[in-house]
Amino acid sequence: MTRLDDVAAAGAAERQRLMPGTQLTNYPPIERWGDWVENDPQEWAHGRRTPRHYSLIPTTCFNCEACCGLVAFVDKASGDVTKFEGNPHHPASRGRNCAKGPATINQVHDPDRILYPLKRAGRRGEGRWERIDWAQALEEIGGRIGRAFAEGRHDEVMYHVGRPGDDSYMERVLHAWGIDGHNSHTNICSSGARLGYAAWMGFDRPSGDHANAKVIFLISSHLEAGHYFNPHAQRIIEGKMRGAKVICVDPRLSNTASMSDYWLPVWPGTEAFLCLAIARLLIEDGTWDREFVRRWVNWEVFLRETRPDLECTFEHVGPALSALYAEYTPQEAARVCGIDERRVREIAEHIGRAVPGRLASHNWRASAAGNEGGWQTARCLFLLNVLTGSVGTEGGTSPNGWNKFIPVPPKQVHPHGRWNELTWPQEYPLSHHELSMLLPHFLKEGRGRLDTYFTRVYNPIWTNPDGFSWLEVLTDEQLVGCHVALTPIWSETAWFADYVLPMGVASERHDVASYETHAGRWIGFRQPVMKVFAEQQGRTVDRTYDGNPGEVWEEHEFWIDLSWRIDPDGALGIRQHFESIEQPGTPLPIDEYYAHLFEHSVPGLPVAAAGEGLTPLQYMRKYGAFSLPGDQLEVHEHIVGAEEIAAAAAVRDGDGVYRVPATAGSHGSVDEIGGHMPFIGDGSLGVEIDGDVRFGFPTPSRKLELFSPMLRDWGWPEYALPTWIPSHVHWEQLDLDAGERILLPTFRLPTLIHTRSAQAKWLAEISHSHPLWIHPSDADALGIDVNGLVRISTQTGHFVIRAWRTEGIRPGVVAASHHMGRWRLDEAAGTSGWTAGVAAVSGPAGGYGTGSRSDDGRWHIATTHGVQPWSSSDPDTARVWWSDAGVHQNLTFPVQPDPVSGMHCWLQRVTVGPAKPEDRYGDIAVDTGRSMEVYREWLAKTRPGPGPDGLRRPLHLARPVKPLASAYTTT
C-alpha cells in the first residue's frame, strides 16, 4: 500500500496523525489558513513525517490576464513562500488553475531574476550594468520627467504596458500627470475583435455564459488559450457536460478542437463568410428571435439606409436580411471556407435550436487578430448572438462590462486634456486602441521623440512584429532619450534599457482586477504576501521592497514615490494626487489607498466584511477576492427611472434616446460603465422601448447597431453592416504551386505565456519546442522531409525552423506557436536560461553580443547555442536536459495594421521551402528598410480623420486614459 492509500484507508484520528491538519478535503478550510499544518513533502519523500506550519495568504496569478486566485503557502519557520495552490474563494477560478498558476513559485525563486535596480554602464545593448538604489532611480528618472513637464514636453513621456494586471491605477497616475502617455499592447492582441464588438454594442468584448449555453461557438482555441483561459475552460466543459454542442473554428486541431463536437478548419480569413452563411440559414428557416431583434436592434436605420424602397416596418427586416446575405449560400460557404456544405447546415440547425438566448460565442484573437478585415469576424459572429436573442441572457453572451467591475479609485483626478498623435494618429480614428506597434516607424518618420519611455511587463523586440525596427529605435538616444524597463524578468527589450527596475511577480505586488469570466461580477486582489506575512508576525513593512526578495518593488508604491520626485514642491500640481488623505503633506500609504477603495467603491463589500467583523481591506486580505451581489443578466432591460432622467436633465431625442450634455471626459473607458456609470461618452442615459425608458447599450442609439452610422460617417460606408472582407492572405490569391502558404504564427500553448513564463522552470521543462505544423500533403508537395529544416520567407526576411508533419492542420496553412525563439546576448545574463539560447545579432551599423556589422545591410540572428545547463543557486539549472530555444519568427514579420481597427494582421503570406545548404536552425534575416516600405503600403490603405464635427475619434468609443472631450477636437 502506498502512503496515500494509508491515509485514505485510515480513520479520522489516524489521518490526523499521518497528515496533520488535513481531512483530505480539496482545499484547506479558511478557518485554518492562519496556521495550516502539513508534512514537509521533501522529508516525506524520504519516509519522514515532519509537520510544517504555514500561513496561507491569498493573492492572484499574474501569468495571464485571467487573474485566477492563488494561495501562497508561507512557511512560518523560514518565512519563505514554498508553493502556490488555487484559492477556492475566488469566484472565477474556484480553486482551479492551469499549470502557469502554481509555477509562480518558480518565478519567485528563479536564480536569474532581477533583484535590484540597475543602471546602464556601457552603450545601450552592451550588457554592462551597475547596481543602484531606489532613491537614485527615483531621483534621476523623476528629475528628467519633471523637467519635461516644466518645459511643456508632455508628449515625450510614455508608459507602454504589456500586461496591466490592474484595472484603474495607471489611469489615475497618467491623469494626475496630465499626459496622454498611455500605450498598450492591444493592437498586437485584440484590436480587431474589439472594434467588431464595439460597433455592435459599444462594449468591446464579449462575455459568454458558457456553462449554461446550448451551443458554444468558438472562433479560437479557447480551451487552451482563451482570453480568460482557465475560468472559461472550466465553464465550457461544464456546458458540454450539460449537453451543449461545442463548435470550434480553427485551422489547427487544437486542444479545443479535439474536445469539440465540430472542428471546422476553414481557410483563414473566411470565418466571417461562414457566420453570414449561418445567419442566412437562420433567417430562411425562421429560427431567429424576431422579438429580440425588433426591440433591441436599430433595424429602422438598417431599412432606411439600405432599403429605401421598402416601408420602414419590422416585417420587412427578415426579407431585407435575406436579400442582403443572398450570396452567402451553404454551397458558396463550402467553397469559400473549404468545408463540407452539410456541416454548415448542421451547425445552423444547432444554433437555431439555441433560440431563444442560449448561444455563447467568442472570438478574441484568432481570425480577428490574423486577417485584414478580421474585425468583421467578431461582428459577423455576434450577428448570430443577435439573431438568436442570445445577448445578455443566461447561456448567451453579454457585453463584457456587465460581468466586470472596476471600482472608482480614491482621490479622483480630473481627466487630462491632451491628445498624443504618436499613439492616436489621425490615420486610425477607429482603432482599438493605440497604434502601439507603429511607434518605431512614427519615431523614424520624425513624428516625435521620447524623453522618457517606460516599458512595463512589455517586450516589443521579441513580442511585436518587426522587432529589429524596435531595436533600432531603442538604441537611438536621439529618438528615445531614456528607456526605463519595469519588469520582473530579463527580456530581449530590457537588455536595451537605461534603467532596469525589478517589479514583483504575483505574490509581490498589489493590484485590483476584474474580468468577464462568467455571468457575474467580482474583483480579485493581488497582494504582496511577504508584506502581509510580516504584518501577521507583528512587523511593519514600510515599502514593499523591504518585504520582497532583494529589492523587488511593486508599481503602485513606485508611482507614488516617483510622482513626489517629479513634483517635489507641488508646483506642477501633481504631488497633491499622491498625498495621504488622512495626513496631507505625506505620501499616500498603499494600505490607505486600498482601505478607501474597498470601503467606498465596491458595493456589498463593506456589508460582507462587517458580517465577519472585518474592515473591507481586512476582508480582501483574508479572501483575496469578492463576488459582487446582484444579477447581471439582461442589464439592457433595466428601467431608467423618471427621477434619474430628471436628475440628469436628460431629454428625449427623435430616436427615442434620452441624452444629457456631453460628458466624454468624465471617466476612462467604456469598461467602467458596466461597473458604476450610467452615461456613455456622448451623454446618453437610456432609450425608449415600447413605452419604457430602458438602459440599453452604450452605443449612440443605445441599441445594438446592425447598421453602424459610425462606420458610415467615419469613412467606411461599405462596412456599415456585418460583412465579409477577404483577407490579405485569402487563399484564392495564393500561388500554391510556387510554394506560397499561409503562416499562422499566433497560437498559444496552455503552458506558456509570452515573456514571463520563461522564468518558470517547470513550464520550460513541459514545453520547449515549437515545430512548424505542416500537413503531409504540403510537405510532400514542397519537398519538406520528416523533421526537416524549412526556410520560411516573408516580405521582409526569412527564418529557418524545423517541420512537424501532422494531419492536425489544414493543407495550405502552416503554423508555429509564438512562444519560442527566446535569445540572450550574454552567456551569463539576460533572458532566462530555462528557455533562451545564446545568439549573435549582426546589423547594418554593428552587432550585439558576438555579432558584428553585417555586409548585406540586413539584420541577422545566428544561434551560438541552444538551451544549456548552467550552475546557479538552484541545482535544477544543472539538470536542464532540453536544448531547443526555438526560432524568433516575429522578427521577420512586417507591421500590417488593419486600416480600420489598427489591429496587426498577424497571418503572413509566406513562401515555404526546404532550407538552403547555408541555413542553420534558428537563422533569421531581416531588411528593416523593406519593413518601412511595407509599413507605408499599409498606411496608404487608411482613411484618415478627422471625422464628423472635426473629431479625432467617436466620443463613445472606449480608449484608455480617456481625455476631456475638448481634446477630441482638431479645431
Contact residues: ligand SF4, CB under 6 A: 61, 63-64, 66-68, 93, 97-98, 100-101, 229-230
Least CB distance from residue 27 to ligand SF4, whole Å?
A: 15
Rounded Cα–Cα distance for residues 373 and 705 (Å): 18
CB closer to ligand SF4 out of 97 and 363: 97
Q: Which DSSP string corresponds to 85-147? A: EE-TT-TTTTT---TTTTTHHHHHS-TT---S-EEE-SSTTS--EEE--HHHHHHHHHHHHHH
Q: Tell the smallest beta-carbon distance from residue 68 to ligand SF4 (Å).
A: 3
Compare residues 100 and 622 and give the one whose CB is closer to ligand SF4.
Answer: 100
Least distance to ligand SF4 from the beta carbon of 81, Å? 16
Q: Least Å distance between CB 97 and ligand SF4?
A: 4
Q: Give min distance, CB of 300 to ligand SF4, in A.
A: 43
Of 475 and 746, the one with the shorter C-beta distance to ligand SF4 is 746
Residue 224 CB, shortest distance to ligand SF4, in Å, is: 10
What does the block give as the cell for 925? 534575416
Residue 63 vs 684, nearer CB to ligand SF4 = 63
The answer to whether 815 touches 252, Cβ cutoff 8 Å, is yes
Q: State the nearest-atom distance from the C-beta of 372 to ligand SF4, in Å.
A: 30
Minimum Å gap between C-beta 620 and ligand SF4 is 18
Q: Which is nearer to ligand SF4, 67 or 176 (CB)?
A: 67
Q: By C-beta, is 93 or 487 nearer to ligand SF4?
A: 93
The answer to whether the CB of 230 falls within 8 A of the CB of 215 is no
Compute the 3-state secondary structure of the chain and give helix, strand, coil in percent, each to the nearest 5: 35, 20, 50
- Distance of closest approach, residue 524 Cβ to ligand SF4, in angstroms: 9
Burial 54-74 (b: 16+ CB within 10 A, else e): bbbbbbbbbbbbbbbbbbbbb
The C-alpha cell at 538 is 507583528
The grid coordinates of residue 605 equal 463589500
| CB nearer to ligand SF4: pick between 165 and 409 | 165
Question: Which three cell numbers mark 182?
Answer: 498611455
Q: Is the backbone peptide bond immediately before 488 cis, with ω within 30 degrees of 0?
A: no
Q: How far apart are CA 299 and CA 535, in angstroms?
A: 60
Q: C-alpha grid cell for residue 66?
A: 485571467
Judge contact between 924 and 860, C-beta under 8 A: yes
Tell me the C-alpha to C-alpha distance, in Å, between residue 613 and each of 532, 594, 608: 19, 18, 9
Of 181 and 231, nearer to ligand SF4 (C-beta) is: 231
Structural contact between residues 752 and 762, judged by C-beta atoms closer than 8 angstroms: no
Our CB check for ligand SF4 shows the closer of 212 and 230 to be 230
In b/e form, how buried is each residue of 905-916, taking b as 16+ CB within 10 angstroms? Answer: bbbbbbbbbbbe
Q: Which residue has cell 496631507? A: 584
Q: What are phi and psi of 414, to 5 degrees?
A: -65, 135
**What's the min distance (Å) between Cβ of 949 and ligand SF4?**
42
17 sits in which H/E element:
helix 12-18
Nearer to ligand SF4, 491 or 863 (CB): 491
Nearer to ligand SF4, 527 or 794 (CB): 527
Side chain identity, residue 453: Y
What does the alpha-carbon distance between residue 239 and residue 38 come to, in Å, rounded to a whole number? 36
State the helix-helix crossing angle for 555-566 and 134-150, rounded to 10 degrees: 50
Smaller CB separation from ligand SF4, 65 or 140: 65
